[in-house]
Amino acid sequence: MNTQVIIDTAKAMVAGNKGLLAMDESNPTCNKRFAALGIPQNEETRRAYREMIVDTPGLGESISGAILFDETIRQQKKDGTPIVKAIIDAGIIPGIKVDMGAKDMAGHPGEKITEGLDGLRDRLIGYYEMGARFAKWRAVITLGDVIPSRGCIEANAHALARYASLCQEAGLAPIVEPEVLMDGKHSLDRCFKVTEEVLHTVFNQLYKQGVILEGMILKPNMVLPGLSCPEQESLDDVADKTVNCLMRAVPAAVPGIAFLSGGQSAELASARLNAMNVRFKSRLPWALAFSFARAIQQPALEIWQGKEINVPKAQHVLYHRAKCNQAARRGEYNEED
């Protein structure tokens, strides 16, 4: 294992106030987003959509890495250029989602366990050869009256650490993503408590399994009130709770924390990231960055509509959202944007 290479990759993923673009929706998820807008759901449309994204002029100014799905890493642009080459030529590091999805957890009603460890060592070797230099694995924690259970949190943390260790062995920097979902009516404080417990459990497993913290990126949820909670706290309250939670649980050796957006609007995700950096950036050991899918893509997808003629406009909006999040990393995001 070349430790320094992995550490350099992780550092590069959060350098220059840039962030990650998650464009790794599985086929069912991508199809669901297309269906909601009446866009045809097939391989060619998914390919054209991803080509539109990676061809966005200037995307590399604010995006350090792009997370791909298995189908996409094997695809080419219409002119035959491999998508991976287009990404590298844009100055962006290619990454790959390697989990096989969150499945119902046996004996744990309402909870999920992420699958994909079997055969992962060989798949990682294949992805490295295809050009990927980092990977992603998402664990899902659902909040309810009596969940999450310790069993669910521990099983997911264990799987995340096993995945992360395999990635580093293969020369890939792992993105470790434990997502506490926004769905539900839980309070901000409940999300804080659960997120804190989840992160402690994850870092305990990462330690036990010998993962090099300097060579990984944490991708957590922001600490937020549930979507249907009547009390929705201010930007500053969310920023304070999120950063306080992370300070308790994330070792200083981790180079960067890149949030998922989780279903927040593009504007709110940028505004919350901005508030965190305005209030805390100068005294944090790690970078506070982004690894958004919907909060960067959704406005562009709505304009694209599956039509070639809309490509330049959609790219313009995608470029803009990516830039907004770079500004949010500096604490200079303008909420009207």
Contacts to ligand 13P by CB under 6 A: 22, 138, 177, 260-262, 292-295
Choice between 65 and 262, CB closer to ligand 13P: 262
- Select 98 or 153, whichever has its Cβ closest to ligand 13P: 98
What is the Cα Rg of the chain in Å?
19
Q: How far is the CB of 139 from ligand 13P (least distance, A)?
A: 10
Q: Least distance from C-beta 177 to ligand 13P, angstroms?
A: 6
Note the helical H segments in 222-310. 235-249, 266-280, 294-304
Largest CA distance in the chain: 53
- Cβ proximity to ligand 13P: between 56 and 298 the closer is 298
- Is 151 in contact with 159 (CB distance < 8 Å)? no
**φ and ψ at 146, to 5 degrees?**
-120, 10
Q: Smaller CB distance to ligand 13P: residue 22 or 311? A: 22
* 86 within 8 A of 55, measured Cβ to Cβ: yes
Closest among 113, 208, 216 to 162, alpha carbons compared = 208
Query: At its nearest, how many Å lie between ligand 13P and the CB of residue 97?
Result: 7
Strand positions, DSSP E, the chain: 19-23, 63-68, 93-97, 102-104, 112-114, 134-141, 173-180, 217-218, 256-259, 287-292
Question: Nearest approach, Cβ of 261 to ligand 13P (angstroms)?
Answer: 3
Minimum distance from residue 219 beta carbon to ligand 13P (Å): 7
Active-site option among 177, 179, 241, 323: 177
DSSP string for residues in 84-101: HHHHHHTT-EEEEE----
- Which candidate in 18, 219, 241, 323 is catalytic? 219
| Residue 185 among the catalytic residues | no
Compute the distance between CA of residue 5 and CA of residue 221 in angstroms, rounded to an integer.
27
Q: Which residue, 51 or 177, is less far from ligand 13P as judged by CB?
A: 177
Classify each residue of 227-252 as buried b or exposed e, where b means 16 or more C-beta atoms within 10 Å of its C-beta: eebeeebebeebbbbbbebbeebbee
- Does the annotation count 85 as an active-site position? no
Q: Which residues are catalytic?
A: 177, 219
